[in-house]
Structure formats: structure tokens, C-alpha cells
Copies of this chain bind each other. A is one copy, B any other.
Amino acid sequence: MNELVFIGLGLNDEQGITIKGLEEIKSADSVFMENYTSRMPDFSLERFEALCGKNVRLVNRQTLEDENGKSILEAAKKGKTVFLVPGDPFIATTHVTLRIDAEKLGIKTRIVHGISIISAIVSLSGLHNYKFGKTVTVPFSENFSETPYKVIAQNKQIGLHTLCLLDLKANEHQYLSINQALRMLIAIEQERKLGAVTPDTVAVGIARAGNNNPTLKADFVKDLENFDFGEPPYSLILPGELHFMEVEALIAFGGAPTAFRRLIK
């Protein structure tokens, strides 16, 4: 049957995919994969091809954008075609256009979900999911923006946590570090003075979500600013109001100082 199945690869390595995802690949006629919206640090294409028994055709941003996904759509007109995407296929909005184009051409589309950084980080932190507000991405300094600071301030005003994704250049293996992100936010604080990210603000840094040895560290910004998180990728949470169970979780899993207990309202 001709169709286009978007499959999430999940996080970190080739074992991040679900059993269902792997089975779908095994019965596919064509398999494409992109590795530019996000990076899976321990992913080996060789091991993955051995696991699924298929040749996987890598597509980069240039190819996909230049030809508007033509080779993928052509394959999907002829047979079962799979497009592999790190994380969950549509948490980054990049591929929504490809899916719309396929549907307009009368090609049936389906999604086989993958683990997303969004839920993994919330889960790792021990913070309560329903207390997170809008998510934001902190860019590299050359794309400087006050938006992340404003989103954190807006969320805090209504007591909510902010998940900050930190920008990366997947192909150049460049990652914005937690330290750089904090310094950028502190610099904006000095201009805007909303009290959203001060040296005494609580923050939570996460490195290598999805890996067997992620680093989770909760501390005051002044102490977190120089903490060594080890290898990338990185994310950051700026909590709003903390529930006592959340504080206990940050102490138990994130090595937070017990002074955090005094923050509970």
C-alpha cells in the first residue's frame, strides 16, 4: 500500500525508537531519515540499518527544502515510505508542510510517535507537568532575542515553570550551553529588571536527556552558571512557584541545596 509514515526515532541512540516504529520500517519499501532538526548523540546509522534490515537514505535540510520533499513524495506514491525524524516527528514544526503536501496529493499519512525532549525533560526534573507554561528556545548570541526572557517573566507572573530548549547547529555539532544561556538571560535582566532571572533565581539544568547518564542539576543561578554539565545536548528549566514535592524531587534527583525548602510558599 502506498502511504507516508512519519516515525519518531526518540532520543539519544538507535534504541530510542519504539517496537512499533521498528516493525513499520521492516515492512517499508523506502526509508528516509533526516538528522538536522535535532541530534541523537549516540546514534549509529550502521547499527540502525542492521537493526531494521533496510538501507536508510539520509536527507539534509538543503535537499529537503530545495526539492520540497519531492523524492520522498515520489517514493510514497509508489509504495510504503517511511520518514524517520529524531524525537517525535512533529514537535518541531519543520515537517508539517511535507505532511500537508502528501495529503494534498492523496497520499495517506500516519504518525508513529517517538519520545520527545519536551516530555522527557519534564519527567526527568520531577516537576509537575501541569505547572509548565509556554516553552521557548534560547538562541545563539548571533540571533540574540529578548523573547526567552519575556516568556520566563510572563510564565513566572502566573506561577508557571518555563522549559527552555537551547539552540543547536546539528550538523556542526554546536550546542548553546546552559552557562551561556544563563549569562544571556542575566544580561537581559540587567536591562529589563523584571526580576525573572537574577543570581538568586532557582534554575534546573539538564544534559543528555534520554541517555543512561543524564545530568540534572538544580541550584541558584549564581551557582549553576559555572556548573560543568558535561557532554551535550542541554536544556534548562526556570521554575515558577514550587510545590513542596517538587522541591523534594529537585533535592533528591537534582542535588539542589536544602535551602530550596525555604522557597515554598
Instruction: List residues of A whose CB falls within 8 A of some B CB.
Output: 8, 10-11, 13-20, 22-23, 51, 88-93, 96-97, 99-100, 103-104, 109-111, 113-116, 118-120, 122-124, 126, 128-137, 154, 158, 160, 209-210, 212, 245, 248-249, 252-253
**Contact of B99 with A124 in the complex, beta carbons under 8 Å:** no
Find A130's partner among B19, B124, B136, B248 (CB 8 Å cutoff).
B136
Find A91's partner among B18, B91, B119 (CB 8 Å cutoff).
B119
Q: Sorted from nearest, which 7 A-B pairs have the closest CB atoms? A: A116-B119, A15-B20, A90-B123, A15-B19, A103-B252, A100-B252, A113-B115
Could you say which residues of chain B place their CB within 8 Å of the CB of A23? 15
Could you say which residues of chain B place their CB within 8 Å of the CB of A13? 20
**Contact of A134 with B135 in the complex, beta carbons under 8 Å:** no
Could you say which residues of chain B place their CB within 8 Å of the CB of A97? 245
Query: Could you show 5 A-B contacts with beta carbons less than 8 Å apart?
Result: A15-B19, A90-B124, A91-B119, A100-B248, A118-B119
**Contact of A11 with B113 in the complex, beta carbons under 8 Å:** yes
A35 CA to B123 CA in the complex, in Å?
A: 18
**A158, chain B: closest CB distance, angstroms:** 7
**A100, chain B: closest CB distance, angstroms:** 5
